[in-house]
Amino acid sequence: MKTKRENISKALESYIPTCYVPYVVDLMFSQKLNFRISKPRKTKAGDYRPPFNGKPHRISVNSDLNPYAFLITTIHEFAHMTTYIKYGGYVSPHGKEWKSEFKRLLIPVLEKKELPESIEQALLKSLNNLKASSCTDIHLTRALMAFNEKKEGTALVEELENNSYFKLGKMVFQRGILRRRKYLCTEVKTGKKYLVNRLAEVKPLNEEK
């Protein structure tokens, strides 16, 4: 009969590169933890919750991430856990304490030299000027997204022309100007303005709907 560790290792092989499975499993067994592979969420790739009312540490990571994005997001959430263990809830969620923990946990990943060069270089650059996550570091996000399966008929918002139309979810937008990391877009039906992430995957439209 397989052990709990073996069963978890086997399950993780479907989500992260096999060579990193033992390291992630070691992190999982370092504390009492509920690790959940979540349904896709639009607002976040992962989540950490500290112990509460008898519940242990809880980490969830979206199931639809590519293997490298799943790995980096998992390390991101473990950094939240170790930061909480060391400092409690008295530090900024992505402050210098978290940044230090994220860097510490990423070092074994980088030392294996198994990451694609583009992701390795983006991580090294990120660690020198660390942002909150793979979702807010534009260069790292691009490097990770390069390994997504390309969906037919889709494009990134930043690839579109200004004033062109696109569909995001059930809403149709017209792309406007770039404001830092997001484009100011107009929702066609209501005329309301929305900031849309420049790396959002959307469906380009040839004409206004």
Q: Which two tokens stand for residue 30?
A: 């370092």
Tell me how far apart the alpha carbons of residues 197 and 13 are, in angstroms, rounded to a whole number: 31
DSSP state of 92: -
Regarding the domain delimited by 155-205, which CATH topology (the fold level of the hierarchy) does it fall under? SH3 type barrels. (2.30.30)
Q: Cα–Cα–Cα angle for 165, 167, 168, nearest 5°?
A: 130
Of 151 and 55, which is predicted with more confidence? 55
Beta strands 33-38 and 57-62 are parallel
Q: Where are the alpha helices (DSSP H) in 39-184?
A: 67-87, 96-111, 117-128, 138-145
pLDDT tens digit sequence for 105-139: 999 999 999 999 999 999 988 887 755 454 567 88
Check residue 130 and give its pLDDT.
Answer: 56
pTM given for the model: 0.85
Q: Cβ contacts of residue 170 below 8 Å, gap of 6+?
A: none
The more confident residue out of 57 and 90 is: 57
Provide the residue ranges of all domains of the chain, joining segments of one domain with +.
4-145, 155-205
Q: Is 198 helix (H, G, I), strand (E, B) or coil?
A: coil
